[in-house]
Amino acid sequence: MVDFRRCITALAILALFAGLAAAQIGPQQQLVCATNVTVTPNLRGEGYTEQTGDITLNCTGGVTPTLGSVVPTVNITVFYNTQVTSRLLPQSASNSISEALLLIDEPGSGLPPTVPGYGPAAAQNLCATPTTGCTQFVSAANVSGAPIGGIPVATDTALGLFVPPGTPATNTRNVFQGVVSSNSVTFFGIPVLAPGTTASRVFRITNVRVNANPLAGGSASGASPVTASISISGATSLLITNATPTVGFVTNGLSAKVSTTTTFNQCATQTKSFATLVQFSENFGTAFKTRVAAQSNTSYAGQAGAPLSPPQNVPGGIYNSESNLVVPIATGQVAGLADYGTRLKATFNNIPAGVRIFVSTANVLNGNFPVVAPAVPGGSAANTGTTGYAQLVNGETTSDGASSGFFPSITATDNGPNNGNVPIAEVPITNGSGLAVWEVVNTNPSTSETFSFAVYTTYSANVAQNSPPAGTSTVNLSYAPTPPIFTASAGAAASSTLTIPRFISDPSAARNFAVIQICRTILLFPYVTNQAGFDTGLEIANTSLDPFTTGSNTTLAQAGSCRMTWYGGTTTAPTTPPGPSDTGSIAGGTIYVNTAQTLVPNFQGYMIAVCNFQYAHGFAFISDVGARNLAMGYLAVVLPDPGTNGRAAAPGACLGVTGCTSAGEQDAH
């Protein structure tokens, strides 16, 4: 019994000392990771595929496993408060493998390494099995100043204690692809080698894109946060100091408008006549971006594809481009590379038959003068000024290509007015609609820019054939591409086939930019009466049929009706005018005749007739009934058309009269 009690006492004392030892080294054994988002970017609220800020986990502490053992692994899942839309790069193991990457110890960053050839000095080596991760072993590097036993490193094979660079730097996996599911991305089998107290281990999560649109306008401050929630499971534990970092703020990136709405007359032929400017303004300095960051002053360096030279692959680098960290994955697969830079789209609607639309092939100062093109379009030197540069391209989703120097621009086919200063190209119109797309090739992220593009119209007037028909043409302005080139639901989800970036359709109502008004004549009959025994005879002649049928004087007979609006009243209602009257169609070379007694019995006042044809003339004849005692007549006044230049108080010859020249029709008789 005594021996048993002594044994129990000894075990209790041993347990006490063991507990004290654990309490003393507990903080060192715990692997603690501090979360950081170095740059919290602005995300465009119109974007389906907006880049979020990189998340870094800077981990210290923990106990290094036994030399030669397998490094413990964890699964790291990041949940976002909106859909993850990073490009999918399918493999046989899963169609949900994506361009989202997790990097260990900032490979390729150029930062000073603790172990030569490892950590920041290592090449970026991809784990080829993203659904399971890659097995790594605990090795130790015996370098100057290292503690006894060396500095632990993870390697593909167990190297024991070695002296760098006695092993190839490729003997470690440090780049892992994420698997996307709805609003989350998971990195499987991530080796977590505790660095102890003398070093740190950095895990960087990058290339995560999200659908920013559901968060647009959701905050009273005007910017809604994109938040991430980090979950870790597996063979080891990580204490995260901030598991819910903010990785971006969403606000609308684009304001768009037309500079003016121009009115054209149906009967006046137009040749490359200025219609409006379509104007795109960024709401913050990085709302417009090039495809990649131009790192040389060579043609279209900012529109180059993989392989990039120099590469865009420094972890934590700030590139201000549509692409992020660009890393080759497999043949035909590249993580982080966008298909093109920011594109701006004008969708023209309700274009009348016979009307042609032209646009400037680059941004302009106004309808007469273009901006000065950069000496090297797309090169780095032109990204520092205050005026960016954008060029017309041949589609919403056409890729910029795979090499520097290529760009899918549309070559100008003509020049605009003012002695041909503005290069232009025609917009194909189908069923009354067409679109023009420009891509930003040079932009300064430090300033908010506005890109203006000129719109011109051409048509041949043929009033006799009602060509072009009257109407109002509109334009929608947005980023590109947008639905209907893909469905909104598909655009808002991760995809392996859709291009990046992509955006919502124009959320604003279409803007009027051109109005073709019917050719007309406005006649004023200043005195009409059917009171006190008098009546007024009214005549309107359509004189568009004439002998001038050749050369520039060709008139062409027109036909149309006149709407007569009465101002005044009747004997029973002196201040209430009767409703409008209509003549019906008056053919060219014919006249319309009627009386006030028939049209507006007991009326006295004046009347304005709006005739839907040119060259209308009117005559009024006032007499007592039967014209036995008193009679007089007058010619109706031809008023300037308020739809063109406004109705002047003292009209001069031809002021605003449709079809009038200084030697032709007059305003009054």
Q: For the sheet containing 631-635, what is the strand order? A: 591-595, 534-542, 616-624, 631-635
How many angstroms separate the CA atoms of 271 and 586, rounded? 31
How confident is the model over 259-297, as pLDDT tens digits?
999 999 888 889 999 999 999 999 999 999 999 999 999
- Sign of the C-alpha dihedral, residues 232, 235, 236, 237? positive
Considering only CA atoms, which of 35, 210, 199, 185 is closest in space to residue 102? 185
DSSP 115: S
- Tally helices (H) and strands (E) across the chain: 4, 39
Contact 174, 133 (CB under 8 A): no
CATH class entry, domain 521-639: mainly beta
How confident is the model over 340-369, as pLDDT tens digits?
999 999 999 999 999 999 999 999 999 999
In the predicted model, what is the mean pLDDT of the chain? 87
Question: Average of pLDDT values for 176-185?
Answer: 98
How confident is the model over 144-174, as pLDDT tens digits?
766 767 788 999 988 888 777 655 556 789 9
| Phi and psi angles of residue 595, each rounded to the nearest 5 degrees, phi first | -125, 155
* pLDDT-above-90 percentage for the chain: 69
Contact 194, 74 (CB under 8 A): no
pLDDT for 103 beyond 90: yes
- The more confidently predicted of residues 197 and 608 is 608
How many angstroms separate the CA atoms of 566 and 68, rounded? 102
How confident is the model over 564-607, as pLDDT tens digits?
999 999 999 999 999 999 999 998 899 999 999 999 999 999 99
pLDDT for 218 beyond 50: yes
- Would you state the pLDDT for residue 235? 76
* pLDDT-above-70 percentage for the chain: 87
How many angstroms separate the CA atoms of 49 and 35, rounded? 24
Question: Average of pLDDT values for 310-314?
Answer: 91
Contact 70, 133 (CB under 8 A): no
Task: Read off the amino acid at residue 190.
Answer: I
> Which residues, listed in sequence order, are joined to residue 101 by a DSSP beta bridge?
177, 206
How many angstroms separate the CA atoms of 405 and 318, rounded? 23
How confident is the model over 603-648, as pLDDT tens digits?
999 999 999 888 899 999 999 977 678 889 999 999 987 765 555 5
Count other Cβ atoms within 10 Å, centred on residue 668.
Answer: 11
Q: For the sheet containing 270-282, what is the strand order? A: 254-258, 270-282, 450-459, 356-360, 423-427, 414-415
How confident is the model over 19-33, as pLDDT tens digits?
322 323 344 478 999
Q: Is the pTM of this model over 0.75?
A: yes
How confident is the model over 481-536, as pLDDT tens digits?
999 999 999 999 999 999 999 999 999 999 999 999 888 899 999 999 999 999 99
Contact 406, 262 (CB under 8 A): no
- Give the pair of three-digit tokens for residue 565: 């609006």
pLDDT band, residue 661 (cuts 50/70/90): very low
CA 388 to chain centre: 16
